[in-house]
Amino acid sequence: MSALVINNLYKTYRNGFEALKGISLTVEQGDFFALLGPNGAGKSTAISIIASLVNKSAGEVSVYGHDLDREKEQAKCLIGLVPQEFNFNMWEPVVEILVNQAGYYGIPRKEAFRRAEETLKRLDLWDKRHTQARWLSGGMKRRLMIARALVHRPRLLILDEPTAGVDIEIRRSMWRFMREINRHGTTIILTTHYLEEAERLCRNIAIIDHGRIVEQTGMSRLLSRLNTEVFVLNLKSSITDPPTLPGYQVSLVDAETLEVEVLREQSMNGLFDLLSQQGIEVISMRNKQNRLEQMFIDLVDRSKRQGAAT
């Protein structure tokens, strides 16, 4: 069964702005799904409609087979949302925020406290349980939003830029946590501007732009469509001129750094053979640009050109 099916979803705001122009999307059970797009593309509107925070203009949404119009309560029970902006009562203690949220899902107070304890411990917030939310750091507030979204144990978790503004250490611990809950069966939909994050975590992807889905496919399939990749090579010894490597485009960034453009059909072994023949030793290498970022820019540019043509 699909965790989420969106069919022909439209949203036109009162001021006439068309945020969604008929998007259709399927997310399979157990997936870790990236929903990407530039600012204002319609990601947050789509998420808000799924979470019942915004009324749709037309279309259908179903969660684990429960239609959001006809079986609203069943569908809602299955969704957990971590929104982009902090949206909890800043004057309420952390534990009460979780207990109240559990209560709205019909979980009795005693059981709600037990679940709040379990969830806060998992997210390293148990020590802060009596602290008012406004006194938490930015990273803790983000984790509190995740804890609140999980307290009723949803089967579909929607994360709208969950790591925005948090430092790399917390971001990595949040990645570990997200992977873990996904491994235990929770379907996750992630929107993020950190494309490295989406590439590392997600198996499937949809790219939305100007209210339309411009791509929906598997992450590896999408990345395999990259025609070229640019690698940055750090050299052991200095060189003065860029080496001539037949078939590869090479440029010298500085005396100890080379940039090499590699086509999809070319192999890295061939490149290293040529470098070895010229006595150049490579001590490390990296992608110049994140691969998904490169693909994302290509797709959004193409969508813009098509939009301009029509």
Partner 1 sequence: MTSWGIYRVAFQTIVTKEVLRFMRIWMQTILPPAITTTLYFIIFGKLIGERIGEMDGYRYIDFIVPGLILMSVIQNSYANVVSSFFGTKLQHYIEELLIAPVPNWVVLGGYVVGGVTRGTLVGIVVTVIALFFTDLRVNSYGLTLLVFILTSILFALAGFINAVYAKSFDDISIVPTFVLTPLTYLGGVFYSIQLLPNFWQQVSLANPVLYMVNTFRFGILGVSDIDVRIALVIILGFITILTAYSLRLLSRGVGIKD
Judged by the rule CB under 8 A, the positions of this chain that interact with partner 1 are 13-14, 48, 51-55, 72-74, 76-77, 79, 81, 83, 85, 87-90, 96, 99-101, 103-109, 148
24 vs 100 by CB, closer to partner 1:
100
73 vs 241 by CB, closer to partner 1:
73
190 vs 205 by CB, closer to partner 1:
190
Residue 100: CB minimum distance to partner 1, A = 5
| Alpha-carbon radius of gyration of the chain | 23
Residue 73: CB minimum distance to partner 1, A = 4
Classify 1 as helix, strand or coil.
Answer: coil
The per-type count for the chain, helices as H runs and strands as E runs, is: 10, 14
State how beta strands 212-218 and 187-191 pair: unpaired
> Residues 187, 156: contact at Cβ < 8 Å?
yes
- Cα–Cα distance measured from residue 3 to residue 299, given in angstroms and rounded to the nearest whole number: 26
Residue 275: CB minimum distance to partner 1, A = 55
Residue 103: CB minimum distance to partner 1, A = 3
78 vs 274 by CB, closer to partner 1:
78
Residue 15 CB coordination number (10 Å): 5
Residue 77: CB minimum distance to partner 1, A = 5
158 vs 201 by CB, closer to partner 1:
158
What is the per-residue burial (b if ≥16 Cβ within 10 Å, else e) of 212-230?
bbbbbeebeebbeeeeebe
Classify 21 as helix, strand or coil.
Answer: strand
- Cα–Cα distance measured from residue 77 to residue 152, given in angstroms and rounded to the nearest whole number: 8
144 vs 198 by CB, closer to partner 1:
144
Residue 55: CB minimum distance to partner 1, A = 6
